[in-house]
Amino acid sequence: MEPSQNSQTLTIGIIVNPRKEQISIPLEILNTWKKNNKKIDIKFLLCSFESKYVHGRFSFLQSVSLQEVLDSSQLVLALGGDGTILRTVQLVNRREIPIMGVNLGGLGFLAETSPEKLTTHLENYLKGQYFIEERSLLKCHVVDTDQTFFAFNDLVVDKAGFSRVIEIVTHVDDCLLNSYIADALIISTPTGSTAYSLSAGGPIVVPETNVFIINPICPHSLTNRPVVVPDSSFIRLKVFTEFREVKLFRDGQLIQGYPSGTSFHLTKADFVVKLVKMKEKGFYDTLRNKLHWGEDFRDKKRWSYQNSNK
């Protein structure tokens, strides 16, 4: 899957977020880079469905079917933000193609490559000056159905907009953990620890840690707190509601509604997500930069107050 100096052609698939107005910026950069480096044998593939959003302006892109993008690519560029990476993960699925995220959004915990560093990071990739970070996924099976889902960030069982709380009976392996009375319950991977779970008061977990986080949202009991369990655990949820259904969300996207009494079985997936990382930047650097740790906001507030009174 990974290129070597002896490889002939590197095929790179591109997944874009068409809602991003800046999508042409990294494509212009790639276009110029490709023209100036004709000796580098790289083939760029773009899904024909997404090619209409770039209006055929870039001749270096080969418009093919999504299936061909996924079957032929040795590397996938996800142009957008963390949401684009989440979508790319679902598309790549078991293929385990390395993914390089190019951040055109805001926070960008997963998509760490900026458009300005895109060609530098690609050149580093060609030279082997990178590493692959393997991230775990959460597998969810809906009991008594043939439905199975995989989540990169988290799975959320939610009360579906009903005014009353729901009950989520939760077992870890063969032991009852809790019968949560809450608005919802988040089951998060380490990757998802900096997403919805963090907003709900959960801990930040280093990606390489082999755990899952069980985190209730607005629990009825103030003693209910997030619980971290080994990712080898078998988690069973059975959900009860006075409403007609509860809703299941995967990585922020609605799967569907399920009737009261539905059970969900959660385990670690038997494949991983491979994220391309540059050696210049680590997880702790990302935390400091994205969460603005160590910054003194007092002078900024004072400056804003003084300027507002001029």
Q: Provide the number of structural domains found in the chain.
A: 2
Confidence of residue 288 (pLDDT cuts 50, 70, 90): confident
160, 257: one domain: yes
In a domain, 109, yes or no: yes
- Among 78, 99, 129, give the residue marking a domain's end: 129
CATH of residue 238: 2.60.200.30
Of 99-103, 146-150, 183-187, 283-287, least confident by mean pLDDT is 283-287
48, 70: one domain: yes
Query: Pick the catalytic residue: 82, 154, 231, 251?
Result: 82
- Residues whose CB falls within 8 Å of the CB of residue 293, separated by 6 or more in sequence, listed in order: 287
Q: How far apart are CA 118 and CA 35, in angstroms?
A: 15
Structure tokens, 226: 């997030």
Amino acid at 294: G
Residue 32 pLDDT exceeds 70:
yes
160, 104: one domain: no
Kind and range of the H or E element at 189? none
In a domain, 5, yes or no: no
Give the per-residue pLDDT at 166: 97
Phi, psi of 53 (to 5 degrees): -80, -15
The verdict on whether 82 is a catalytic residue reads yes
183, 152: one domain: yes
74, 156: one domain: no
Mean pLDDT on 112-116: 91
In a domain, 200, yes or no: yes
CATH of residue 18: 3.40.50.10330
Residues 3-17 as b or e (16 or more Cβ within 10 Å = b): beeeeeebbbbbbbb
Mean pLDDT on 35-51: 85
- Residue 287 vs residue 252, higher pLDDT: 252
In a domain, 155, yes or no: yes
Give the per-residue pLDDT at 162: 87
- Among 101, 129, 157, give the residue marking a domain's end: 129
In a domain, 172, yes or no: yes
On whether the CB atoms of residues 82 and 56 are closer than 8 A, the answer is no
In a domain, 53, yes or no: yes
123, 38: one domain: yes
What's the predicted TM-score (pTM) here? 0.88
Give the per-residue pLDDT at 2: 45
In a domain, 188, yes or no: yes
75, 120: one domain: yes
99, 147: one domain: no
156, 174: one domain: yes
Mean pLDDT on 79-85: 92
Residue 302 pLDDT exceeds 60:
no
In a domain, 144, yes or no: yes
- Among 102, 129, 156, give the residue marking a domain's end: 129
169, 119: one domain: no
- Domain range enclosing 165: 138-268
263, 149: one domain: yes
Mean pLDDT on 159-165: 90
Structure-token match 């209910």, residue found: 224
94, 159: one domain: no
Residue 222 pLDDT exceeds 80:
yes
